[in-house]
Structure 1
Amino acid sequence: MSLINLDLCFNNFTNLSHSNASLPASLTMLYLCRNNLSTLACGWSFLRLIELLDLSYNPHLPSKAFQGVDLRQTRYLRLRSTNVSVSVLLNVSNVKAGHVDFSGMGLKSNKRLTELCTLLRMRVHWIKNLRLGSNGIKNLKSNTLSNCPKITQSLDLSRNQLKSITCLNFLSGHKHIQSFSAEHNHLTSLPSCTGKNMLSFKNVTELSVRYNRILSVNSHAFNITPNIKTLKLNINTIAFLHREALKGLKKLETLRLDNNLLTDLFNVTFEDLHNLKTLNLRNNHISVIFNGTFQNLGNLTTLDLGGNKITHFEASGLDGLKGLVKLYLDGNNLKQINSARYHVFQDTLKVLDLQKNQIRFLTEDRESPFMNLSKLSDLKLDWQMPYGITLLPRAFFHGLYSLKSLYLSNNRISHLAPDAFDHLTDLRFLTLDSSCVGVAQLQPGVFKNLRKLKTLIVENMGIQNFSKAVFGNLTELEILQLNSNVMRSIDVDALEALPKLQYLDLRKIPLSCTCENSILQNWTLNNKRVQLVYLYSLPCQYDKKFKFYNFDTKVCYIDLGQYLFFSTAAAIFLFTVIPLLYVKLYWKMKYGYYVFRSWFSEQWRRLREEEENCKYDAFVSYNSSDEHWVLNQLLPNLEGNGSSFRLCLHHRDFELGRDIVSNIVSAVYGSRKTICVVSRNFLQSEWCSLEIQLASYRLFDEHRDVLLLVFLEQIPERQLSSYHRMRKVMLKKTYLQWPGSDCTDPVQAQDLFWNKLRRALRKGSIADEEKTDKNEGCCSNDASDTSLCFFVQE
């Protein structure tokens, strides 16, 4: 590409010295402003192709620097704030006088201006543009510019100190001038220009007096310029605009009155402006638009009333605007949208700006105020003050079939109906940022008809879920701004449903750096078509030191399905089987538990090693309700009356502070035998049941005669059948029945009972016991002596 424009300002150049170098032939604009040039010191042809040369703000640049430099092709030479003398420059340089900008060259007096005009007149007879800005000119006499060459296009007197332009009488002899500018001066008023001796500048088409201090514009102020097309009166302090100030401006097309202090507009103010196309009244103090104000503005296409204090329009306040295309009403005090006022331009209006008003809806039962605006393409309703629109009526946008841009930002809308945007089938741009209260619940299908939408801004709406059901129909979407919402994850399928997406903003979204977003991380790093804003700056939600793009996702790809299946199946099986086992095998499991615990603590080994030297002859297992019999019968007969047996009783011999189960285990395995005093209460006791379980374990596992059963009462066999292990013991081993009072000879029977029990305690082996049982013929399952052994279980 060929270089056309070269900006070298602010580089501290002191000269343009070169060694036979040349600028590119394509270069036409060269900016050397704000350097320290004290000379050009360049060859004759170095600058010959430059058309725009800016040497302004080089305070040490002298006039002689241009001697020997070819500037014939230069069409604009700017020398503001240099040390260049106009007269010397025109004598030593071949630049055309009409192509020099004389702004900022110290021409502040009428004398110097007259000298300039004389020099110019000696070289040319006419000049297109005369630029005299920033020279400190305070006033111009009627003959000051009379000696200048005829100005055919424009005169610029901006940034001087003019206090009056006196109906342009200083332009006598320059009736062909087309544009006059006196911006940034000290003008305070524009007087009436009527009278027989007034000059007329019929060729002037543009007049600008912006950035002054004009307070009033009097009647017929522009009589001398009847054919102007552009009038700029903006950025002044105009509080008084005479009703006939604009009288006669029938060719005016653009009128700038913005940023003034106007309060009232009258129906005759714009009476003659039949060709006006653009009227800018922004930032004044207008509160009411009266009937007929714009009655004669049939060709007006743009009306800007923004930034005023308008509360309402009178019935025919907008009448006459039959060709209006753009209407700006932003920044006013309108509280409702009155569709009846828009009927005049309903077939032409394309842009309607209502932002920053006071429009608010509290109910949904409203008809669309835009029903007949079928050509409207741009609608702004954002920033309604002070509470926002609050509620969006269901049919609010009905009729806007041509709408392409819709602005609804900052409106605190509490609910968006699923059909809120159904009629906006041609919409291309939609902004809803900061428009909801709290968390936004976007309904599935809310954007279903926006198939042509290209830009969607839903920033700071409190959106929790980004789903395909909500955003899936936006097949033409190119720009999506989701920043400052509250979703922790984003469905990649929803993003993939946007095939034309090019720009995605996810800033300030608390995305979690978990497996839930592992697919999203992979998508953001590998997609080539979507520009993701600040991807490498997105932090993890809970640890700002880590970034979303590189959080560890290795664990996310382990297939846990099989493990979860088997663990779940095992858990279900256990929860099903354990209750059944608990009911059927409670005591066996409990016994097994204690046996295992004792085994684990090597209790079995210790007790077996001590078995030959047992501490007790017998451990007595009984229920507390049978304690009277144990203490008054069993204890005296086995430990007293000359007997030498040592019995272990739990209330007397258990070790204090020791676990009760450990005490029972020690008692069973620390005694040669276990005597179970069986009664109905015994059978119902859990601890007694545990004691007989442990004793029977020794009986069946060690094949030793360690268990003696003593029945204190008759217990039917059917009651014993539920006690499986006791029934098993009775079928295999001898048991004794305590003789009751119904015996033939109770005294003799009890003596025999104690003899049998002592003999059983002395026996150490199973063989000995069985032999004794047969010899005695009594107290066994096959007893034959019915006179004495009536206590044997029947």
Structure 2
Amino acid sequence: MTKGKEPIIRNFHLVCIVNLVVGIIIQFSDESEFSVDMSKIELTHIPRDLSPKTKVLDMSQNYISEIHLSDISFLIELKVLRLSHNRIQCLDFSVFKFNQDLEYLDLSYNQLQKISCHPVMSLKHLDLSFNDFDVLPICKEFGKLTQLNFLGLSATKLKQLDILPIAHLKLGYILLDLEGYYVKENEVESLQIPSTKILHLVFPPNSLFSLQVNISVNIIECLQLTNVKLNEDNCKVLIKFLSDIIRGPNLLNFTLSHMATTWKCFIRVLEFFWPRPVEYLNIYNLTIVGSINKEDFTYSKTTLKALKIEHITHTVFIFSKTALYRAFSEMNIMMLTLSDTTFIHMLCPHTLSTFKFLNFTNNVFTDSIFQECSTLVKLETLILQKNDLENLFKIGLMTKQMPSLKILDVSWNSLQYNTQDGLCTWVGSIVVLNMSSNMLTDSVFRCLPPRVNVLDLHSNRIRSIPEDVNHLEALRELNVAFNSLTKLPGCGAMSSLSVLIIEYNSISNPPGDFFQNCQKMRSIRAGNNPFQCTCELRDFIQSVGQAPSEVVEGWPDSYVCDYPESSKGTPLKDFHVSPLSCNTALLIVTIVVTVLVLAITVTTLCVYFDVPWYLRMVCQWTQTRRRARNIPLEELQRTVQFHAFISYSDHDSAWVKNELLPNLEKEDIRVCLHERNFIPGKSIVENIINCIEKSYKSIFVLSPNFVQSEWCHYELYFAHHNLFHEGSNNLILILLEPIPQDNIPSKYHKLKALMTQRTYLEWPKEKSKHGLFWANIIAAFNAKLTLVTENSDEKDPT
């Protein structure tokens, strides 16, 4: 047996542990701020640097051998001290004299041989069991511990005199360790145990039950025996011991833990308890040795309500299964639990059974269990958890002849439902059905009891809940957590649904009108789903915010965004999106209006600041620069004397001399003017032709005055002729003033054609635009062009 009070206490039935003093531990376990756990870290003494406000101190499973006053005297608020599983050999209780609030002291599983007593009046729980005491370690000072509720003791010898100091106390729990108990042969002693609600006796684990002491107790409600090893010979020893200790009608609960026995002796033990006033019989870790044969046992009238056997093993594998199963199936009790066994079947009772509760958890039962069984008419609860069930259709047939069945648990199996098996048949009385942790799919909703109120389908393979299910009007609670559902179910087919657990699924966009459609909903757990925090989720978040806080469980911690990445991990309550971005029609109207307003604004600004003119001038400048770069330098290297020949009307001479010439000449552009560069003696036509041929560019200043000048027309004609003759791009048209097309004489058709086909530069009236105008003019000239002076071959680079 593995030593440890924890597993021993754990096996106690609920009826016994209601009044356990272990509640003291629970009381202080929540005070984590003042709780210190220093167990299992190989300490040899209690540290001195603990906080004086420490209330719970766990020093168990270390190597502490001594406790001194200075170790714990400063812990004046200490209430719980665990020192089990150490190496303490002796203890003076005076070390606790300054710990006036100490209520829980665990010194079990040490090497204590003697103690020196000092009253610690506040103690409610004192455990000295599983130590090396020769006699019971009970001091006379223990008789003053009026608040004491739990007392654990151990000794190799038992004497009534040793127990007298506490005979008057009314304890709640007495644990008596008899693993080291020894008595001489034929020497029998008697021990009167003080009245207690719970008495727990631990016997040697590897020896046959052979107790040479008559133990009796006046008042006892729960009795537990641990390490009971029996054979055919000493079976009567146990029965005699039980006969002596079970006398009054107060013993309601009896527990045998770690029991090894023959099948025949086991039946005799059951036979002993059947007429006794015990109501609850619990057997944990039962081992059947030897053969299993049919034993005659008539189940007489009994007050026993429940038999619970957990973890049954047997050492032989060839035996009469009928003898084994029939011994349990014919019992005339209300509740039977046979769990964690290797049972592969259970027989149907021969006669009408009294069973109301059957628990066969963790066996190897198959779908054939209780088929065509008509004697379980009183059965209300059937638990077949963790078996080998596979066919849900057969499970439904099994219940057909159980008219009182209300609760059915078939979880943790391999159940599936194939619609080809036909319509499921269930008894109509089932109201609670647990089919969690199986292999069920969406089709399970076609195979449910008609009046089920509570349905547990978590941890299956369900992807969706059919909307046309028409027989779930009575369903109030539904658990479909840990499936693959992608949306919240509607309440149309489940009009009474009030509790829904649907967490850990694949729901990304729950509908915003869920609470409107499910007005009876009083509790929903839908957290831990991959919520997509988009516009579709906005209405759901608003509806959750309007619902009472107790309705949406886990809110807001379990409800976080999973998509998009930018919002991942954001709580839904902190996710906000504007109504505009979620309303498509409103968004379109807003965009259109914004674009229109922007377009009108831009147009107005463009008109006001004459932006088109600027754009046109920039485009012209860019094109001019590109043409200048694209023309090879060799083609430009011809003998010219001027960068530009300027043709203008005498009426526009003031602008030419005051504006055009200064801006060109400051950029080292050599200009040819008729009044200073025409050669006397030559005709005007010859001078015009000569100047145009000797100039890289021809600039024409266009205005209504230009149109009226016939000589200007000649200059334009020759320049245009030169353009086509040489294939160059040597014309620059400057529109000084607007010229209406109607004002241009028809004989000036070349001027009309040029103004239509070629880009001209308009002289802006605003001074702010002059800079861009001159930049366009200058861009037309190549800086690498070489000029020669008249009557000289000397080059003049510019």
Preserved contact between residue 665 and residue 671 of structure 2 (Cα < 8 Å): no
Q: Distance in 2 between matches of 1:728 and 1:178?
A: 117
CA contact (8 A) 2:136 2:162 kept: no
Q: Does the C-alpha gap of structure 1 residues 724 and 232 become closer, same or farther in structure 2, counting only changes over 3 Å? A: closer
Query: In structure 2, do the counterparts of structure 1 residues 207 and 351 end up closer, same or farther at CA, with 3 Å as the change threshold?
Result: same
Q: Using the TM superposition, give the Cα deviation of residue 303 of structure 1 relative to its aligned residue in structure 2, in angstroms.
A: 0.8
For 1:467-482, list aligned pairs within 5 A. 467-470=537-540, 476-478=547-549
The verdict on how the C-alpha distance between 1:573 and 1:567 changes in structure 2, with shifts beyond 3 A counting, is same
Matches within 5 A, 1:220-239: 223=298, 227=302, 228-237=304-313
CA contact (8 A) 1:300 1:323 kept: yes
Question: Structure 1 residues 286 and 692 mapped into 2: Cα distance closer, same or farther (>3 Å)?
Answer: same
- The 3-state SS of whatever aligns with 2:310 is coil
1:706-748 Cα deviation digits (max 9, x unpaired):
xxxxx9996288768869999999xxxxxxxxxxxxxxxxxxx
2:412 matched to 1:335?
no
CA contact (8 A) 1:33 1:55 kept: yes
* 1:133 Cα offset (Å): 1.4
**Is the 8 Å Cα contact of residues 292 and 316 (structure 1) preserved in structure 2?**
yes
Asked if 2 retains the 8 angstrom alpha-carbon contact of 1:221 and 1:246, the reply is no
1:450 counterpart (514, 518, 527): 518
- Identical columns (%): 14
Cα distance in 2 for residues equivalent to 1:441 and 1:518: 15
Corresponding letter in the other structure for 2:733: Q
Query: Pairwise CA RMSD of aligned residues?
Result: 6.1
Unaligned runs of 5+ in 1: 482-499, 524-561, 620-632, 655-672, 702-710, 730-761, 763-794
8 Å CA contact 2:692–2:719 kept in 1: the answer is no
**Structure 2 residue aligned with 1:277, among 356, 376, 389?**
356
- Whichever residue aligns with residue 345 of structure 2, its letter is D
The corresponding residue for 1:202 is: 276
Q: For 2:182 and 2:134, how far apart are their aligned partners in 1?
A: 23
Could you tell me how far apart the structure 1 residues matched to 2:274 and 2:591 are? 98
Alignment length (residue pairs): 590
- CA apart distance, 1:441: 4.6
Aligned position for 1:70: 143
TM-score (norm 1): 0.58
Q: Where do 5+ consecutive residues of structure 2 fail to align?
A: 1-21, 26-78, 577-589, 627-643, 645-658, 675-681, 700-712, 739-744, 764-789, 791-798
Q: Which amino acid in the other structure matches residue 208 of structure 2? A: N
- Residues 682 and 66 (structure 1 numbering): CA distance in 2 closer, same or farther, change over 3 Å? farther
Q: Which residue number in structure 1 is paired with residue 390 of structure 2?
A: 311
- For residue 327 of structure 1, report the CA deviation from its aligned partner: 0.6
2:411–2:437 contact (8 Å) kept in structure 1: yes
Distance 1:726 1:341 in 2: 93
Contact persistence 1:294–1:319 (CA under 8 A): no
Does structure 1 residue 322 correspond to structure 2 residue 403? yes
Residue of structure 1 aligned with 2:502, choices 407, 414, 432: 432
Equivalent position of 1:390 in the other structure: 463
User: How far apart are the structure 2 equivalents of 1:639 and 1:17?
Assistant: 135
1:8 equivalent to 2:80? Answer yes
Deviation at 1:351, TM superposition (A): 1.4
Equivalent position of 2:670 in the other structure: 615
CA shift in 2, pair 1:140/1:311, >3 Å: same
2:492 aligned residue (422, 425, 433): 422
CA distance in 2, matches of 1:727, 1:329: 94
Task: Give the alignment of 1:766-777 within 5 angstroms.
Answer: none
Superposed CA offset, 1:548-603 (max 9, x none): xxxxxxxxxxxxxx9999897344554799899999979964688679999xxxx9
Bigger mean CA offset, 503-512 vs 349-358:
503-512
1:383 to partner: Cα distance: 2.0
* In 2, Cα distance between equivalents of 1:57 and 1:441: 60
Contact kept, 8 Å, 1:616 with 1:646, in 2: the verdict is no
One-letter amino acid of the counterpart of residue 454, structure 1: S
Q: Is the 8 A contact 2:306 2:336 kept in 1?
A: yes
Shift of 1:278: 1.7
Is the 8 Å Cα contact of residues 362 and 386 (structure 2) preserved in structure 1?
A: yes
**Counterpart for residue 658 of structure 1:** none
**1:212 aligns to what SS in structure 2?**
strand
Is residue 2:191 matched to residue 1:120? yes
Residues 578/411 of structure 1: CA separation in 2 closer, same or farther (3 Å cut): same
Residues 395, 201 of structure 1: alpha-carbon distance in 2 compared, 3 angstrom cutoff: same
Distance verdict in 2 for CA 1:688–1:202, change over 3 Å: same
Residue 715 of structure 1 aligns to which amino acid in structure 2? H
- Aligned counterparts of 2:665 and 2:445: Cα–Cα separation in 1: 102
1:372 corresponds in structure 2 to 450
Residue of structure 2 in register with 1:93 after alignment = 165
| 1:242 aligned residue | 324
2:702 matches 1:649: no
Q: Is the 8 A contact 2:504 2:528 kept in 1?
A: yes
**Aligned with 1:234: secondary structure?**
strand
- The residue number in structure 2 matching 1:407 is 479
CA contact (8 A) 2:672 2:691 kept: no
1:260 Cα offset (Å) = 1.1
- In the TM superposition, what is the alpha-carbon distance from 1:287 to its structure 2 partner? 1.1
SS in 2 for 1:244: helix
Do structure 1's residue 140 and structure 2's residue 209 form an aligned pair?
yes
Deviation at 1:648, TM superposition (A): 1.8
**Residue in 2 that maps onto 1:169:** 239
Residues 159 and 189 of structure 2 are in contact (CA less than 8 Å); yes or no, is this contact kept in structure 1?
no
| Larger relative contact order (CA 8 Å, sep ≥ 6) | 2
Note the C-alpha offset of 1:285.
1.0
1:505 equivalenced with 2:558 (yes/no): yes
Q: CA shift at 1:288, angstroms?
A: 1.8
Taking the aligned partners of 1:520 and 1:690, their CA distance within structure 2 comes to: 73
Give a deviation string over 1:214-270, Cα, whole Å, max 9, x none: 3786545865886222212221236846342036632x122111111121222237x
Find the counterpart in structure 2 of residue 550 from structure 1. Answer: none
* Post-superposition offset of 1:637: 4.9
Partner in structure 1 of residue 716 of structure 2? 676
Higher deviation after alignment, 103-112 or 228-237:
103-112
> What do residues 599-655 of structure 1 show as CA deviations (whole Å, max 9, x unaligned)?
xxxx99996373798635369xxxxxxxxxxxxx99995599xx79981236xx99x
In the other structure, the counterpart of 1:357 is 438
Rg (Cα) greater in structure: 1
Q: Distance in 1 between matches of 2:723 and 2:613?
A: 17
Change (3 A) 1:179 1:676: same
Q: Name the residue aligned to 2:179.
A: 106
Deviation at residue 283 of structure 1 after TM alignment: 1.3
Equivalent residue, structure 2, for 1:693: 733
Cα deviation, 1:165-223, whole Å, max 9, x if unaligned, reads: 7375344743636544221233464557479x989743333322221233786545865
CA spacing shift, 1:585–1:198, aligned 2, 3 Å: closer
Contact 2:346 2:370 (8 Å CA) reproduced: no
Q: What is the CA–CA distance in structure 2 between the aligned matches of 1:192 and 1:18, rounded to whole Å?
A: 49
Q: Counterparts of 1:518 and 1:198 in 2: how far apart (Å)?
A: 63
Q: Which residue of 1 aligns with 2:285?
A: 211
Distance in 2 (alpha carbons) for counterparts of 1:634 and 1:583: 46
